[in-house]
Copies of this chain bind each other. A is one copy, B any other.
């Protein structure tokens, strides 16, 4: 998605890029953003906003994971997006949340008050351009996910999720070890099931199967090691020439 690495240790005041690496933001713009920002923390499992709620802020994820999901009134739910550090939450110009947003793990957001942020966006065209780019990226990710949901087998779905998380970890410059890539699973089996359109039992079984077949290794229940990424890539069923990523 981006060649720029987000620095977890400091939340930049530039919502579009981390302060240290935002080449396009001028000093006065950064100060302006500083003036309207504040931080919020959430516990794992805590709701951030419900579908239909007014949101008076937009935010960028500093640490932790949040999910966007849609629920049917009979209890079936489908996760429609996963927000990892450096991802953006909220939609400029639209103050009603279209999905439930839930903190999947402990979470810190860097929030910007909506009104001044939108005013600033109007005055500063490159922010709008950047948001369009980010929205197009999200759209690509959503459509990639439609292929996963509509056409992949349970095993391919799990492999795809692992590949996406591993790539995401790598894009942050983390997780590479001498014997493969590794990352911490930020999701429970149930959350994975909600993301993949499966049941948690099927998720568990397919993870066990991939482990049995040597495609992945688990340390505990949450730490995943990918000894051979190409092998995993094959299991996803995707074209080999790099597709889209979350």
Interface residues, chain A, CB within 8 Å of chain B?
68, 70, 72-74, 76-78, 80-81, 91-94, 98-99, 122, 125, 128-129, 131-133, 135-136, 138-140, 142-147, 149-151, 196-197, 237-239, 244
Residue from A81, A93, A150 having most chain B Cβ neighbours under 10 A = A150
Q: Which residues of B contact A151 (CB under 8 A)?
A: 72, 76-78, 197
Q: Which residues of B contact A196 (CB under 8 A)?
A: 150
Q: Which residues of B contact A131 (CB under 8 A)?
A: 132
Alpha-carbon separation in the docked complex, A93 to B68 (Å):
27
Alpha-carbon separation in the docked complex, A73 to B234 (Å):
12
Please name the residue on chain B nearest to A240 by beta carbon.
B73
9 A-B contacts (beta carbon < 8 Å): A68-B143, A70-B143, A70-B146, A76-B237, A93-B133, A98-B140, A128-B129, A131-B132, A146-B149
Q: Which residues of B contact A77 (CB under 8 A)?
A: 151
Q: Which residues of B contact A238 (CB under 8 A)?
A: 72
Alpha-carbon separation in the docked complex, A78 to B146 (Å):
7
B244 touching A146, Cβ below 8 Å: no
Q: Which residues of B contact A150 (CB under 8 A)?
A: 78, 149, 196-197
Alpha-carbon separation in the docked complex, A142 to B142 (Å):
6
B142 touching A146, Cβ below 8 Å: yes
Q: Which residues of B contact A237 (CB under 8 A)?
A: 72, 74, 76
Q: Which residues of B contact A70 (CB under 8 A)?
A: 143-144, 146-147
Q: How far is the CB of A198 from chain B (nearest CB, A)?
A: 9
Q: Which residues of B contact A73 (CB under 8 A)?
A: 239
B146 touching A145, Cβ below 8 Å: yes
Q: How far is the CB of A7 from chain B (nearest CB, A)?
A: 26
Give the residue of B81, B92, B99, B132 whose beta carbon is less than 8 angstroms from that of A93. Answer: B132
